[in-house]
């Protein structure tokens, strides 16, 4: 069994080295960096490594995957936080005492109001 997995690993590696399967390997591609330079560009080894790490498609996709995982982690943690909703309403109201069956009170008008009612409810 170990010989089969080692052989499969060698075949996979040889496919990458000899150009087969490059379309499936994100480290074989790159992202555009800027406007193309006419002619050749003189690079030091440090510049070449910096450009390779900055614009390599595999590294860029890896960073994007890291940001996606961090966003998923924060979304999962936000479910643990308390969820507070608040509803506030205000209305102006009048009450007709005669409609409620109260009639004949001297000195008290038949219609009370207008008065404001404020209702604030958290849940």
Q: What is the pLDDT of residues 52-109, one digit of tens each?
A: 888 788 888 888 999 999 999 999 999 999 999 999 999 999 999 999 998 888 888 9
Structural contact between residues 78 and 56, judged by C-beta atoms closer than 8 angstroms: no
| Orientation of helix 57-78 relative to helix 45-55, angle to 10° | 50
**Nearest Cα to Cα of residue 89 among 57, 60, 121, 49:** 121
Longest dimension (CA), the chain: 107
Q: What is the pLDDT of residue 80?
A: 95
pLDDT at 53: 81
Read off the pLDDT of each residue in 31-55 and give the average, rounded to a whole number. 81
Peptide bond into 114 cis (omega under 30): yes
Instruction: Give the model confidence (pLDDT) of 21-38 as tens digits.
Output: 445 776 677 767 667 778
Residues 6+ apart with CB under 8 A from 112: 94, 95, 97
Per-residue pLDDT, averaged over 5-17, amounts to 42
The span from the CA of 47 to the CA of 27, in Å, is 18
pLDDT at residue 23, rounded to an integer: 56
What integer pLDDT is reported at residue 11 of this predicted model? 39
Q: Is the pLDDT of residue 114 over 50?
A: yes
């Amino acid at each position: 069994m170990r010989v089969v997995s080692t052989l499969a690993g060698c075949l996979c590696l040889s496919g990458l080295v000899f150009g087969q399967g490059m379309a499936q390997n994100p480290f074989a591609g790159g992202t555009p960096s800027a406007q193309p330079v006419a002619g050749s560009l003189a690079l030091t080894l440090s510049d070449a490594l910096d450009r390779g790490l900055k614009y390599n498609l595999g590294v860029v996709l890896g960073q994007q995957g890291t940001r996606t995982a961090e966003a998923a982690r924060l979304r999962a943690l936000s479910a643990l936080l308390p969820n507070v909703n608040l509803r506030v309403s205000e209305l102006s109201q009048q009450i007709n005492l005669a409609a409620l069956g109260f009639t004949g009170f001297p000195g008290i008008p038949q219609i009370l109001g207008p008065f404001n009612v404020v209702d604030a409810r958290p849940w």
